[in-house]
Structure 1
């Protein structure tokens, strides 16, 4: 609807301070069409909570996991890349150990996670294999995603699995973490994974229909939030409440996860996990649950972040041919075009790309550390493995991780 439309009984949009807001919820309306965002999504992260996976703590729900696996497999066959972030290890461990209530002691939580993780991985492997799709277990901690080298290693592994048509099944490594079990949640992990692999969409499946402006059990005037802009501060005020006795999250963790995912351009859908064919219908653009749309697509969001980096870790000087390839043709930076390296940067750092006269023409994420880059100057990509003993990527900076800054 036109943002300038007058407010009327049938109008769903109001304009405040030049921004369109939904008249019923007061939330910012996204500039991007949510249906188009969902239909165009090629890389999708799906997070499902403990209460759904374990049928409210009664043990792994084979039927539900089978239904999600069928949909995941269909998405893979459709050319999509999908990752499942699944809670449920501690809850399944509790069931197997005969514990009716979630323990408070750290060592007991870790023991439950160790027991339950066996069954959780086996269940997904069995159900996905029945659909003709391979799976891989990946256990992560927040520390893995905070350390540069571990972050890049995890990213490389996940992207390789996706390229092979395998569905990674990710859970937090509750057996070895400490404060994450008490304070962490897999909604946040889902958002971090979406950031890690630069997903288009994060789908959070929950036991609720989606987000309301208030608790509908207490406020009969509560309105359902169909669509809003991720990161709108009013969303956090609307969300609240603690998690179930099985899980640790609530609606607030999902809203915060959506804000985090939007930082890398991923939109988020919060939907009821038992909605029939929910993943397939969402992929078709059907408006199910609450869609919190990122204000910029993933490529634009990443490049916006790179251009905002004030403290570059180093630079590479390139020849005129490389400048032309980068600026005019939108190509990646190959080692053969580099003539000099400055600084002491690491793999994954943002570095500048300089022309021979010293002006910055681009910046991007380095695939190799400074010491390695110096060895690669003027060398063809085919020599990387011989010179370094390994070959992470054929490019020094891939075009998807590079933004041209020259006028």
Structure 2
């Protein structure tokens, strides 16, 4: 969207994208846009193209550039008879269950009115420790929130290759990924330097979030005009097939949480039980890691320390440390009150495939 040399908006390209969106809408396909470029636009506007801005400067630049970014989308969509609606999200809007549900309701209402949501991270208020940092994972979380059938990530590359095609002549293109195993994840690299964050590594993380939510994801080269129409016409890309067993909306939300708040290490008996669909009982927990509250998403580890799943904690980390290793009938006396009958309910546990 932003020219790599001039740092200006590519208006012709933007208008072509909006024409594609109008064509999709005419066929009954709703579209949500996740757009970046606010900081890059502001750096050009303020004459700050050189140097590395501080966190406070990035926040200020985001506040300045977001106005122009949204205006560009508003004008381009308006030329095709479409109404834009601006959403600025922080991780709290997707990672906190109640805020996630509120944001989802607002998104659904906006689509029902016929408007096109234009979403970006609220970089003016986000801090380093609590931000998406890239629009790939933000897009995946939005796709999960919207129960989207397809997420398209436009980049400067035609999808996933066995190696970086810019440095490896023998790199082979991968048209379809049926399962995101460790071999596929290892094909991602570190984010490249420059005005935007991201890279193939974050796109693969986004693919994991999206496909776990039952959403197909596509990585394609979006630099040419009419990128959506080009995809429909057979443009080369990589398709990541969705998990057909994505589960309930609650489980899809759990699967997409970016960073679990803590961890529970399980013994073999507990692991076998939850694989059979049982709730997690304290007797099967060997150790508690981190600090978390009831309702937080917590990682589940095997005895080697490898993550094997995650779930919503029914007790805080402090109470879980008291309860671990004990039987169900001992819980009330240990805590001094009557609580839940498990550390995690089976309906709030998901396991890695």
TM normalised by structure 1 equals 0.59
| Cα offset, 1:132, TM superposition | 0.5
Q: Does the CA contact (< 8 Å) of 2:85 and 2:115 recur in 1?
A: yes
| Cα offset, 1:273, TM superposition | 0.7
Q: Go from structure 1 to structure 2 and tell me whether the alpha carbon gap of 1:60 and 1:310 turns closer, same or farther (over 3 Å shift).
A: farther
| Cα offset, 1:238, TM superposition | 1.2
2:239 is matched with: 291
Name the stretch that deviates more: 242-251 or 260-269.
242-251
1:149-298 alignment, distance < 5 Å: 149-179=98-128, 184-282=133-231, 284=232, 286=234, 288-296=236-244
Report the secondary structure of 2:32's partner residue.
strand
| Cα offset, 1:85, TM superposition | 0.2
1:8-407 alignment, distance < 5 Å: 52-56=1-5, 58-101=7-50, 103-179=52-128, 184-282=133-231, 284=232, 286=234, 288-296=236-244, 300-303=245-248, 305=251, 310=279
Q: CA RMSD in A?
A: 2.5
Q: Write the deviation string for residues 288-317 of structure 1: whole angstroms up to 9, x where unpaired.
A: 311111131xxx413494896948xxxxxx
Whole-angstrom distance in 1 between the partners of 2:164 and 2:70: 35
- Where do 5+ consecutive residues of structure 2 fail to align? 253-275, 281-293, 296-353
Report the secondary structure of 1:301's partner residue.
coil
Report the secondary structure of 2:186's partner residue.
helix
Which structure is higher in RCO with an 8 Å CA cutoff and minimum separation 6? 1
| Greater Rg by CA | 1
Report the secondary structure of 1:104's partner residue.
coil
| Cα offset, 1:233, TM superposition | 2.0
Whole-angstrom distance in 2 between the partners of 1:203 and 1:114: 26
Aligned residues: 258
TM normalised by structure 2 equals 0.68
- Where do 5+ consecutive residues of structure 1 fail to align? 1-51, 312-344, 347-407
Whole-angstrom distance in 1 between the partners of 2:130 and 2:7: 20
Q: Go from structure 1 to structure 2 and tell me whether the alpha carbon gap of 1:259 and 1:87 turns closer, same or farther (over 3 Å shift).
A: same
Report the secondary structure of 2:213's partner residue.
coil
Whole-angstrom distance in 2 between the partners of 1:308 and 1:69: 46
